Structure 1
Amino acid sequence: MITRHPVLPGQESVWDYPRPPRVEHVSKRVSMELGGEVIVDTDDVVRVLETSHPPVYYVPIDAFAPGALTPGEGSSFCEFKGGARYFDVHGGDEHRPRAGWTYPHPSPGYEVLAGRVAVYAGVMDRCTLDDVVVVPQPGGFYGGWITPEIVGPFKGVPGSMGW
């Protein structure tokens, strides 16, 4: 049995997010830093909301600094969004393999994700959403970004594999 955390005014529970996931444009500013450099700073932001997960934020590939993304190894498949490809992320003298991903040919309903990249916040120096520092989704497998207005519990914590 999952015990939902209380939701205060101005907060959202990940347990109110749908499955299959919903995609929506948001009026937020995303900034990412790596190796002492700002590699992304944009307000062209889309988020994906899925039950039990903090939002995953996607920004245009073109919003990344030149050279910040190079093709990474491997691929994966989401039953909803389709086939994903990975990017290695670079900033300053730092290199993070498979730290970003994209859906080059997303499934129907997720076409807005084409040409956009999401990044694991936990491997960046710093990620912010409207100047609020992001906490990465627990577990290292999922790429959700936790901010004070998002409440869980979140998939990725020990014991959540069956959620």
Structure 2
Amino acid sequence: MPPKLNVHNFPRPPLLEKTPRHLQIKWNNQLIADTKDAYWALETTHPPTYYLPPDSILLPLTRSSHKSFCEWKGAATYWNITNPGNGGSQEVKNRIWSYEKPTKGFESIKDYLSFYAGPWDCYVDGEKVEPQPGDFYGGWVTSDIEGPIKGGPGTWGW
């Protein structure tokens, strides 16, 4: 069993580093992303947020008009994805994001893609993840993550 990672020991500002973990995303039982060449961002009170290389995404993406701004990484671009399987197309909007011009210290994730943990199933080393509480942040919670996590009711001001 891997050692526990306490989110209260993660740094602020966030630490960005390569991770050797095997990341997979499945949608309606179809593999849509697969990589062992990702980054993770570790930030105090947040589970890791993973950034996957564009060539690991197996379905085409279309740019969304939605935008957001991260105080650490800069302006985010959002993406839509369509799954043509299971008897009809299903499009999901604004659940994938990237940084086309990330700020200093985060240049490595330029054009890498991060997925919210849903509506698809996300896996880290074969373990299905739980989404970070609150549906605002995009962290992935695995069994090796511990400590109170930001995102749920009453945690906004942490």
Do both proteins adopt the same fold according to a TM-score greater than 0.5, normalized to the shorter chain? yes
Aligned: 1:54 with 2:50: no
Q: Helix, strand or coil: the match of 2:50?
A: strand
Counterparts of 1:79 and 1:34, CA distance in 2: 31
Partner of 2:75: 83
- Cα distance in 1, alignment partners of residues 81 and 119 from structure 2: 10
Q: Name the TM-score, length of structure 2 as normaliser.
A: 0.93
Mapped to 1, the partners of 2:81 and 2:35 lie a distance apart of: 17
Contact 1:35 1:94 in 2 (8 A): no
**Counterpart in 1 of 2:107?**
111
Q: Provide the alpha-carbon RMSD of the alignment.
A: 1.4
Runs of 4+ off more than 4 Å: none
- For 1:86 and 1:41, how far apart are their aligned partners in 2? 20
User: Structure 1 regions of 5+ residues with no counterpart?
Assistant: 1-7
Q: Distance in 1 between matches of 2:118 and 2:136?
A: 10
Alpha-carbon shift at residue 90 of structure 1 (Å): 2.5
- If the length of structure 1 is used for normalisation, what is the TM-score? 0.90
Q: What does 1:13-162 align with in structure 2 at a 5 Å threshold?
A: 13-67=6-60, 69-91=61-83, 92=85, 93-124=89-120, 126-162=121-157
Distance 1:41 1:32 in 2: 7
**Partner of 1:122: helix, strand, or coil?**
coil
Could you give the per-residue CA deviations for residues 65-94 of structure 1, whole angstroms, max 9, x where no partner exists?
142x21122111111101100011222332
- Number of residues paired by the alignment? 154
SS at match of 1:38: strand
Contact 1:40 1:63 in 2 (8 A): yes
- Asked if 2 retains the 8 angstrom alpha-carbon contact of 1:88 and 1:95, the reply is yes
d(CA) in 1 for partners of 2:48, 2:91:
24
Distance in 2 of aligned mates of 1:104 and 1:127: 23
Give the 3-state SS of the residue equivalent to 2:52 in structure 1: strand
The one-letter amino acid of 1:160's match is T
Indicate the percent of aligned positions where both proteins have the same amino acid: 40
